[in-house]
Amino acid sequence: MTKINRRGAETPRGMGFKTRNGRGTPASNSDSFSASPRLRGKAVLREIPLHLLLALGAVTMILPFLWMLSTSLKPESQIFRFPPVWIPGNWEWRNYRAAMEAAPFGRYFLNTAIFATAATISNLLFCSMAAYAFARLRFRGRDVLFILVLGTMMIPGQVTMVPVFIMLKHWPLAGGNDLLGAGGHGLLNSFTGLVLPGAVGAFGIFLLRQFFMTLPRELEDAARIDGCSEAGIYWRIILPLSRPALATLGIFTFTAAWNEFLWPLLIMSKDSMKTLQVGLQVFQTQYVTRWDLLMAGTVVVTIPVLIIFLAGQRYFTKGIALSGIKG
Partner 1 sequence: MSPNTRMIAKPSESRIAWLFLSPGLALFFLFVLIPVVAAFYLSFCRYDIIHSPSWIGAQNYARIWKDLANHGVFYLSLRNTAQYAVATIPIGMVLALALALLVNAGLRGVTLYRTTYYLPVVTSLVAVSLVWMWLYDPNYGLLNYGLELVSRGLSLLTGRQVLLPPQTWLADPGQAMLAIAVMSIWKGLGYNMVIYLAGLQGIPEHLYEAAVIDGATPWQRFRAITWPLLKPTTAFILVVSVIGASQVFGQVYVMTNGGPNNATTVIVHQIFQNAFSFMKMGYASAMAFVLFGLIFLLSLINLRLLRGGQVDYV
Residues 87-106 that bind partner 1 (CB under 8 A): none
Residue 51 in the binding site for partner 1 (CB under 8 A):
yes
Give the per-residue contact string, 138-177, with partner 1 (x = CB under 8 A; - = no).
xxx-x--x---x--x-xxxxxxxxxxxxxx-x--------
Angle between helix 142-151 and helix 202-214 axes, rounded to 10 deg? 140
**Please, which residues have CB within 8 angstroms of residue 28's CB and are 6 or more apart in sequence?**
none
- Which of 212, 258, 263, 315 touches partner 1 by CB under 8 A? 258
Residue 6 in the binding site for partner 1 (CB under 8 A):
yes
- Which of 100, 230, 241, 244 touches partner 1 by CB under 8 A? 230
Residues in binding contact with partner 1, number by CB under 8 A: 119
The answer to whether residues 161 and 266 touch, using CB atoms and an 8 Å cutoff, is yes
**Please, which residues have CB within 8 angstroms of residue 318's CB and are 6 or more apart in sequence?**
16, 17, 19, 24, 244, 248
- Which of 277, 293, 296, 315 touches partner 1 by CB under 8 A? 277
Minimum distance, C-beta of residue 81 to partner 1, in the bound complex (Å) = 7
Minimum distance, C-beta of residue 13 to partner 1, in the bound complex (Å) = 8
Residue 192 in the binding site for partner 1 (CB under 8 A):
no
Residue (of 258, 275, 257) closest to 266 by Cα position: 275
Residue (of 29, 12, 22) closest to 244 by Cα position: 22
State the Cα–Cα distance between residues 56 and 72, nearest whole angstrom.
Answer: 25
Q: Which of residues 55-74 bind partner 1 (CB under 8 A)?
A: 55, 57-58, 60-65, 67-68, 71
Minimum distance, C-beta of residue 243 to partner 1, in the bound complex (Å) = 20
Judged by beta carbon, residue 246 or residue 301, the one nearer partner 1 is 301
Residue 321 in the binding site for partner 1 (CB under 8 A):
yes
Stretch that binds partner 1, among 95-103, 113-121, 184-192, 295-303 (CB under 8 A): 295-303
- Which of 105, 108, 234, 263 touches partner 1 by CB under 8 A? 234
State the Cα–Cα distance between residues 191 and 115, nearest whole angstrom.
Answer: 7
- Which of 261, 270, 272, 311 touches partner 1 by CB under 8 A? 261
3-state secondary structure 58-73: HHHHHHHHHHHHHHHC
Residue (of 319, 326, 324) closest to 24 by Cα position: 319
